[in-house]
Amino acid sequence: MRIAMIGTGYVGLVSGACFADFGHRVTCVDTAASKIAALNRGEIPIFEPDLDRLVAASVSAGRLDFTTDLAGPVGEADAVFIAVGTPSRRGDGHADLTYVHAAAREIAKALQGFTVVVTKSTVPVGTGDEVERIIRETNPQADVAVASNPEFLREGAAIRDFKHPDRIVVGTSDERARKVLGEVYRPLYLNQAPIMYTERRTAELIKYAANAFLATKITFINEMADLSEKVGADVQEVARGIGLDNRIGPKFLNAGPGFGGSCFPKDTRALVKTALDHDVPLRIVEAVLAVNDNRKRAMARKVASALGGNLRGKTIGLLGLTFKPDTDDMREAPSIPLVTGLLDLGAKVRAYDPVGMEQAKGELPDITYCEDPYAVAKDADALVIVTEWRQFRALDLTRLKREMANPVMVDLRNIYRRDEMEELGFTYESVGRGAI
């Protein structure tokens, strides 16, 4: 199969590299010339484990290349994937479809022979209809089918998720398009991944419903964590106890500082907006958003109360800044409202993140960046584990404590055990572990 991938952001680059790895001939297209030039030099603009290796292997095998020229690869493609950004529109929280629509217009002009145009970007229900309308208006002769094929990749595990998906969702009623996309994903369903064919609008909604449900699961356990603290229960045990019920399942029940990232906040907001437009308010998802926003803002107060309530003149050290491990992504990271809150309360903030510090500097200019966790600990009145990077699970705690002015540890990811920490002489706070 010949594939054109429009957009070399996170989804486009990972999907393009994985399709090429399956043996397809893939061209990734982006309007940003500097990005394409960098990719052609072998530089990967995002941090994702293994992506550089995968890209390099497919490029040298002649199955993957990068260009700013959209028309050539689209003309030759069996399938054209739209994987451009759909940011939150300023002001109203709707998904901004400017890039999707622009891509559809450009693609339309270049189509030759039967081609499936596939939206991979997360787009509101009905966007496929709009893309089809734009294409048919721009090029009435085009032999085209428009499908929706949402992506369920997690940052940091994107390649594994792509190659071992729980399911592949293909939304189109066009038989020829189903056949083409069946071929595109053949290596995966040979691997037993279920492929689900459905209507386009249903596929579009599946993506939003999945993200909203997962965000709900996290928010639910976060509220249980708050209750656990008050009633003397342990939320990790609660999560295990409910997760062993197959109907609930064990995943996405880790309590923490609230969800962030490029998808959950943006997509739940967009879903709420779509639903309101249709006069079907989604009360549960609305509550999830509100509870999560409050939670992120409350984390600074949690740190303050671990230090007796007053942070004026105190030095707080943060371990981790990115919204989760194995990514340099700072979008909607809980660290951002945490830092703002700590600074507002009069604290000085020092921080270390294994890969996210360059990205963080743009978002958080008013803190001190350190070269390792021990430098962060130096003279700190408290350390806060904000992101559960693997290297933070094996810290030399005795050394860390020696560096600190005051051995208070606030573990927002529950990666340490209270008894161990107290034995070492730390005052230890975590999330939802009220049991003594």
- Interface residue with ligand UDX, options 6, 28, 82, 253 (CB under 6 A): 253
In whole angstroms, give the CA distance from residue 221 to residue 262: 21
Using CB under 6 A, which of the segments 15-23, 127-135, 211-219, 276-284 binds ligand UDX?
211-219
Flag whether 324 is marked binding: yes
Active site residue 263: yes
Residue 259 in the binding site for ligand UDX (CB under 6 A):
yes
Stretch 316-355: interaction string toward ligand UDX, x if CB under 6 A: -------xx-------------------------------
Residue 152 in the binding site for ligand UDX (CB under 6 A):
yes
> What tokens does 312 get?
């004026």
CB of 73 to ligand UDX, least distance (A): 25
The active-site residue, picked from 18, 28, 263, 370, is 263
Using CB under 6 A, which of the segments 64-72, 91-99, 149-157, 348-356 binds ligand UDX?
149-157
- Interface residue with ligand UDX, options 132, 151, 229, 429 (CB under 6 A): 151
The residue (of 249 and 346) whose beta carbon lies closer to ligand UDX is: 249
Flag whether 254 is marked binding: yes
Which residue has tokens 């390792």?
A: 372
> In what order do the strands lie in the sheet containing 382-385?
368-369, 348-352, 315-319, 382-385, 408-411, 427-429
Q: For residue 95, list its beta bridge partners.
A: 88
- Interface residue with ligand UDX, options 66, 264, 389, 416 (CB under 6 A): 264
Q: For residue 411, list its beta bridge partners.
A: 385
Residue 301 in the binding site for ligand UDX (CB under 6 A):
no
In whole angstroms, give the CA distance from residue 171 to residue 195: 11
Flag whether 154 is marked binding: yes
Q: What is the DSSP letter of 349?
A: E
Helix (H, G, I), strand (E, B) or coil at 69: coil
CB of 47 to ligand UDX, least distance (A): 12
Dihedral Cα 33, 39, 40, 41, nearest 10 deg: 110
Q: For residue 169, list its beta bridge partners.
A: 196
In whole angstroms, give the CA distance from residue 179 to residue 195: 12
In whole angstroms, give the CA distance from residue 118 to residue 5: 10
Residue 261 in the binding site for ligand UDX (CB under 6 A):
yes
- Residues in contact with ligand UDX, counted by CB under 6 A, come to a total of 19
Q: For residue 234, list its beta bridge partners.
A: 433
- Residues at the interface with ligand UDX (CB under 6 A): 151-155, 211, 214, 218, 252-254, 256, 259-261, 263-264, 323-324
Residues assigned a catalytic role: 263
